[in-house]
Amino acid sequence: MSFRFNQENTIKIASLLNRYPQKKALILPLLWLAQKQEGFISDAAMKNISEFLELPLMHVYSVASFYTMFRFAKNEKKVIEVCRTLSCELNGSEDIKKYIQSNYSDRFEIVEVECMGACSGAPMCTLEGKYFENVTPQKIDKVFNDN
């Protein structure tokens, strides 16, 4: 498998190059563009990034794997994240997690995450990165069944 950035991303990358004093700073922006383009970060994409930035492949891999938001395999299912940190737990996130797990685990991949900066809307979850706050089983049914 090979990887090339599409034309739209290639244009974006050209303008990003002017924004940083060293090319190396582009690792995170390029990883994001690659993940957007393919839905995950393939070995070929990392190789492409390492060649473009003239950095060892190991460096790109070590950086990419440090962060929790990069995926290294294609997701067959859409991702639901459920916050489990204190403000959400105090407002019933464990019950929400159980509800989602027992009703939606066949269609979605369910991941527990730490505080998402939405504590006033606890309990909260996301669907494909979009925030849903003050969730209840009813609200979950409504949102997830539309997707």
| Contact pattern for ligand FES over residues 121 through 140, marking x by CB under 6 A | -x-x----------------
Closest CB 94 distance from ligand FES, rounded Å: 12
| 16: Cα separation from own chain's centroid | 21
Taking CB under 6 A as the criterion, the residue among 115, 131, 139, 143 binding ligand FES is: 115
Q: Verify binding: residue 33, ligand FES, rule CB under 6 A.
A: no
| 48: Cα separation from own chain's centroid | 20
How far is it, in rounded angstroms, from Cα 104 to Cα 102? 6
Closer to ligand FES by CB, 110 or 119: give it. Answer: 119
Element (H, E) at 145: helix 137-145
Cβ–Cβ under 8 Å, residues 53 and 26: yes
Q: Verify binding: residue 37, ligand FES, rule CB under 6 A.
A: no
Q: Count CA within 13 A, CB hemisphere, residue 68.
A: 6
The count of other CB atoms within 10 Å of the CB of residue 21 is 6
Q: Verify binding: residue 85, ligand FES, rule CB under 6 A.
A: yes
Closer to ligand FES by CB, 46 or 82: give it. Answer: 82
Closer to ligand FES by CB, 49 or 122: give it. Answer: 122
Q: Verify binding: residue 44, ligand FES, rule CB under 6 A.
A: no
